[in-house]
Structure 1
Amino acid sequence: MAKGDFSLELLPFGICTTSMYFTSLALCTKSEKVFHFIFPWAITGSLISLVVADLHYALPHFRYIPYFGNHGFFLLANLYFLIVLKYRFTYKNLLKSGLIIFIYSIVMIPINYLLDTNHLFLRELPEPAQPMFYWMGDVWVIGFMFSIFLLFHLIYAPLYLYNKKHPIELVKTV
């Protein structure tokens, strides 16, 4: 930024930046509520980013390693909550988190146009993902949002099976 190369794309409004900050907050506070909010965002965002990297640099470039390190961090950190800390994630948590990201997306659409940015990929998808939604024309963003919601459900499927097999035992008080 000292060279005057600041970009509004660097503002922390993207899904991955949001996931990184809230995952870090959840780790520092051990907050199960923050985990419930960020889990599907972090898992979906990190998996998509690790497979369809929106990166303009190759391995020798110094930004390559932090990109994959950050995305790997919030993937592993959220798995840590599930596996090590034994936090539970329910369908109700999924619906709440999905509603929050939907509202966040609706708010970000005009902000992206005002700032001429592409946070949450709501104006343009990374090149490798474009063919999946090209056929939808100008309403591709609706299909994109729906596919994210489907991915949330796909990620939730193994948790549903686990929760069904290991129900939460309620403690009775006398």
Structure 2
Amino acid sequence: MITLADFFTYTSHYRTGVYHDLNTFEWLFPIFVLFALIYFLFKYKDIFKNNKLLDKRLRISIGLAFIILYLSHYLLRYAIYGYDTLILPFQLCSISMFLAIILIFTKNRTIYTFVLFTGVAGGLLSLFVPIIGYDSNYYRYYQYMLAHGILILTPLYFMAVHGFYPSKRETIYAYIMAQVAAKFMLVFNYFMGTDFMFLFLDPNKANKFPIINNFGGIPLYLIWIELVTIVWFVLTYLGITFLKNKRN
């Protein structure tokens, strides 16, 4: 029987070695719900597009819920570990979530483009290959699934309802921002021994993340990451531009 205290257990499985695997339903159901919401968002976008008050209320409601999900993660970790590298919001999804919250309330186009490319990619990867350490008996599971789901939906909402489409210049700028963040984290991880964005120069990190060896090991796997990033930005921009022109 899971107690309330157990439900809010928030220790890092990297620190404890305790890992609760997801069953098929726990893994696939959030993905199914996400794609259903994306479908209905684009199908019924005019409801929000033609009603500014409804759009504003929805953004505020989702934004506040997003803030609660975002802050609860770091507050619960802080309650356990205090001032520790675990409470630093330096993962790509963490950075994208922070910016997505700002986007929801400000409708900033520059932020939008960055969140579109990094948030959707990071969010989808996190849902399809979840590394949570907790199943549906724990709050962390719901925090993880909901936060990443909102992260993906946020830029898509602005695309569907507000007509935000990335220009070539904005796409290049977003790529440069991502590169700056990645290079900073590469150096930070090297000196602090952390794992943010899974970017490493220390060969010993391959022992903790053995999948890296399948891509040439450290540092060769970084070349693969760079190539995948470039392909993602180019294909996403071309795909969105094609859909935009087809719609017009």
| Structure-2-length-normalised TM-score | 0.60
The one of 90, 102, 114 equivalent to 1:37 is 114
Aligned to 1:19: 96
Matched, 1:48 2:128: no
| Correspondent of 2:185 among 99, 108, 129 | 108
Q: Distance in 2 between matches of 1:135 and 1:35?
A: 31
Amino acid of the structure 2 residue aligned with 1:102: Q
Instruction: Name which of 235, 240, 245 aligns with 1:154.
Output: 235
**Counterpart for residue 81 of structure 1:** 158
1:13-68 CA-to-partner distances (Å, cap 9, x unmatched) read 11111111101101111112221232101111111111111211122121001001
For these two proteins, the number of residue pairs brought into alignment is 165
The aligned counterpart of 2:211 is 130
Query: Between Structure 1 and Structure 2, which shows a larger proportion of helix residues?
Result: 2
Looking at both structures, which has the greater relative contact order when contacts are Cα pairs under 8 Å and sequence separation is at least 6?
1
Flag structure 2 segments of 5+ consecutive residues without an equivalent.
1-77
Counterpart of 2:217 in 1: which secondary structure?
A: helix
Q: Tell me the SS of whatever aligns to 1:63.
A: helix
Aligned-residue identity in percent = 23
Instruction: Tell me the CA shift for residue 135 of structure 1.
Output: 3.7
Query: Could you list the per-position Cα deviations for residues 104-142 of structure 1 after superposition, in whole angstroms to 9, with x for gaps in the alignment?
Result: 111111101222111111136896x927x6142221022
TM-score (norm 1): 0.83
- Checking the alignment, whether the CA contact within 8 Å between 2:215 and 2:224 is kept in structure 1 is no
Shift of 1:157: 3.4
**Stretch moving more, 105-114 or 15-24:** 105-114
